[in-house]
Amino acid sequence: MSKPSLLILDEPLAGLDDGSREVAMDSLADFVGGKTVLLVLNDWAALPDWIDHVAYLSGGRIDYQGPMDPTAARSWLGQMVVLTNEAQALPAPLPSSVPGLSAERALVEMRDIRVRFEDRVIFDGLNWRIDPGVHWQVSGANGSGKTTLLSLITGDSPHCYTNDLEVFGFKRGSGESIWQIKQYIGFVSSELHLAYRVSGTVESVIISGFFDSVGVYQRPTAAQKSAAASWLALIGLTGARQQPFTQQSFGNQRLLLIARALVKQPALLILDEPCLGLDAFNRGLVLALIEKLIQGRETTVLYVSHDHRDQLPSIKNTLRLERD
């Protein structure tokens, strides 16, 4: 074993007491210099300092891989283990005054939608239906109409009043208010992330989701604080509860904003390019959280992305938009 081209160490510390583990790792540190080593571990806390690349194996496949320093890897792997723990269910929703929706009725139904801006036609004859519990991924290049499509659902486009569109049982243009629509929607985008720059703790960001506000300007209830604690546990950030939001990593900020959108367990969660601007490992954390949401079956997910790397195997329905 003095000059192997590849040294494979499969759980080399298994069964060793603490003292023996330390001796073994010190010996390996002296031995591996200049060699290619594949170290297989199920305890991310035991990751040695001489490791410079990490791969995470989940469900029989390598989901995430790339260069990382060991300190960052330990923290990241810890969160991944929490997020991919199938035994950990989504927090239970708090009692709500929002009227319930029929499980038999579409959340969104578009019929023969036509949208035109001056000389450019965005949609011509679009028919689309989102049923409860049926998750969708919307893909398409920049300029293909993804933002316009979302604005029709959220009510932020005047074209929702000139088309045959029904959202959460409301026929658009029938006298409903914008807040009657938005009470059923959770929304996260990179634009929201950039705009969320108020001072506050990690906990307060999640609690702000109960008030649909950027920041918290009233005293939260004990139940709301408990719910925030449950969401922090789900995303592996319990220890950061009182830390400033602005001092968290970019990826953890995005996770927190998704949790913020979910504290009220909305009927429809719209994720508009949630991985935009994230590196491979933070992308992995966000995608793992989205997979967890889909498994929870409480909220229907509408996931919008132009990046082929962000395909989610648990989303079976895709709407692809093409730019003319």
Cα end-to-end span (Å), the chain = 61
- pLDDT of 58 reads 73
- pLDDT of 134 reads 94
Strand order across the beta sheet in which 164-167 lies: 120-130, 108-117, 164-167, 170-171
Which residues of the chain fall below pLDDT 50?
none
Note the pLDDT tens digit of each residue in 258-302: 999 999 889 999 999 888 888 878 888 888 888 888 887 779 999
CB under 8 Å, gap of 24 or more: what pairs does 317-321 form?
317/134, 317/135, 317/136, 317/137, 318/136, 318/137, 318/138, 318/139, 319/128, 319/136, 319/137, 319/138, 319/139, 320/138, 320/139, 320/140, 321/138, 321/139, 321/140, 321/144, 321/145, 321/146, 321/149
- pLDDT of 232 reads 93
Whole-angstrom Cα distance, residue 87 to residue 77? Answer: 17
Helix/strand/coil (H/E/C) assignment for every residue in the chain: CCCCCCEEEECCCCCCCHHHHHHHHHHHHHHCCCCCEEEECCCHHHCCCCCCEEEEEECCEEEEEEECCHHHHHHHHHHHHHHCCCCCCCCCCCCCCCCCCCCCCCCEEEEEEEEEECCEEEEEEEEEEECCCCCEEEEECCCCCHHHHHHHHHCCCHHHHCCEEEECCEECCCCCCHHHHHCCEEEEEHHHHHHCCCCCEHHHHHHHHHCCCCCCCCCCCHHHHHHHHHHHHHCCCHHHCCCEHHHCCHHHHHHHHHHHHHCCCCCEEEEECCCCCCCHHHHHHHHHHHHHHHHHCCCEEEEECCCHHHCCCCCCEEEEECCC
Give pTM, 2 decimals.
Answer: 0.82
Tell me whether residue 138 is exposed, middle or buried, using C-beta atoms within 10 angstroms of its C-beta: 0 to 12, 13 to 18, 19 or more: buried
Whole-angstrom Cα distance, residue 269 to residue 267? Answer: 7
- pLDDT of 4 reads 80
Give the position of tokens 């979302």: 150
Structural domains in the chain, CATH included, are: 7-83 (no CATH), 108-321 (3.40.50.300)
Whole-angstrom Cα distance, residue 34 to residue 316? Answer: 45
Six-digit token pair at 176?
Answer: 């409903």
- pLDDT of 323 reads 74
- pLDDT of 38 reads 92
Backbone φ and ψ of 260, nearest 5°: -60, -40
Give the position of tokens 């966000």: 286
Six-digit token pair at 114?
Answer: 């036509």
Other C-beta atoms closer than 10 Å to the C-beta of 64 total 21
